[in-house]
Amino acid sequence: MLIHPAPLAETAEALRSGDLDLHDYIDDLCDRMEAVESQVQAFLPEPDRRRRLHDAADDLLADYPDPDDRPLLFGIPAGVKDIFHADGFVTYAGSTVPPERFAGEQAAVVDGLLAEGGLLAGKTVTTEFAFFEPGPTRNPHNLAHTPGGSSSGSAAAVAAGLCPLAIGTQTIGSVIRPAAFCGIVGFKPSYDRIATPGTVYFSRTIDTVGLFTQDVAGMNLAAAALCDEWEEVELSEDDIPVIGVADGPYLRQASPDALA
């Protein structure tokens, strides 16, 4: 099992305040990647990732020297599914098609991430064209199992603690399915709550940008930063809902482990 904690809300608060040094944090994440990424294979290979992130961190610290002015996602490295265009990165869409066929302007969601102080941890693996053949990514809970798709790398990266936030897309189940398979929180907002331009579409009318974090508090922060007209919710133990599970033939056939 290669699960590792990477709480978004706590980390973002510590980076904004300066209690957590951004360069130290980047080194910790890159060390984690070097230790487990060859097994999980959540990201597209990038030989100079550490150097690139440190350079981006220098620019970010120069832009926001005062902690009180720092945006919500200051210093947070996010994995970005390889169907989004991002300046300085090649888009393959999980395929062997010549990448120049996919060239385009930087995705709106990447612009939003950077505007909120986020960093690009890198491109995450997607199934081919976000639908067809699976990529090499493995489930961090069990490397013999699938992480789900099509946002395979985004879900696996967050579950393995390689980044506290990742971005994916969903046409049918490509956010909520890999999130469930990898044991993390996946959120598919309503259509166009996160703008889609700059995406290699599978279905232009249905594709929705979605998010991955390890917990609900982190997702609340991510949605506040990246979703249009989102009002962040104050979470407390008093607000925890009661969730009912309907009975039926499928549940009666479930194993004790599944029901635990």
pLDDT in tens, 43-83: 999 999 999 999 999 999 999 999 999 999 999 999 999 99
Whether 1 maps to a domain, the answer reads: no
Q: How far apart are CA 92 and CA 43, in angstroms?
A: 12
- Considering 95, 152, 154, 174, which one is annotated as catalytic? 174
- Considering 150, 151, 152, 154, which one is annotated as catalytic? 150
46 within 8 A of 92, measured Cβ to Cβ: no
Residue 251 has a pLDDT of 78
Whether 48 maps to a domain, the answer reads: yes
HEC assignment per residue over 90-105: CCCCCCCCCHHHHCCC
- Considering 81, 152, 154, 188, which one is annotated as catalytic? 81
Residue numbers of the domain that contains 57: 8-259
Edge-to-edge order in the sheet of strand 208-213: 119-124, 77-81, 165-170, 208-213, 185-187
Question: Does the active-site annotation cover 174?
Answer: yes
Q: What is the DSSP letter of 3?
A: -
Confidence label for 246 from pLDDT (cuts 50, 70 and 90): low
Question: Does the active-site annotation cover 95?
Answer: no
Residue 254 has a pLDDT of 79
Query: How many structural domains compose the chain?
Result: 1
Q: How far apart are CA 173 and CA 113, in angstroms?
A: 23
pLDDT in tens, 190-214: 999 999 999 999 999 999 999 999 9
> Residue 6 phi/psi, 5° resolution?
-150, 70
| Interval 143-152 mean pLDDT | 98
Has residue 215 got a pLDDT over 70? yes
Has residue 33 got a pLDDT over 80? yes
Has residue 101 got a pLDDT over 70? yes
Confidence label for 39 from pLDDT (cuts 50, 70 and 90): very high
Which has the closest alpha carbon to 16: 66, 74, 90, 56?
Answer: 74
Altogether, the residues listed in the chain come to a count of 260
pLDDT in tens, 153-168: 999 999 999 999 999 9
DSSP-assigned beta bridge partners for residue 79:
122, 166
DSSP strand E in the chain: where?
A: 77-81, 119-124, 165-170, 185-187, 208-213
Whether 156 maps to a domain, the answer reads: yes
Residue 256 has a pLDDT of 81
Q: How far apart are CA 77 and CA 163, in angstroms?
A: 6
State pTM to two decimals. Answer: 0.91
Q: How far apart are CA 160 and CA 4, in angstroms?
A: 5
Whether 131 maps to a domain, the answer reads: yes
70: domain CATH number is: 3.90.1300.10
In the structure encoding, which two tokens stand for residue 192, read together? 């166009």
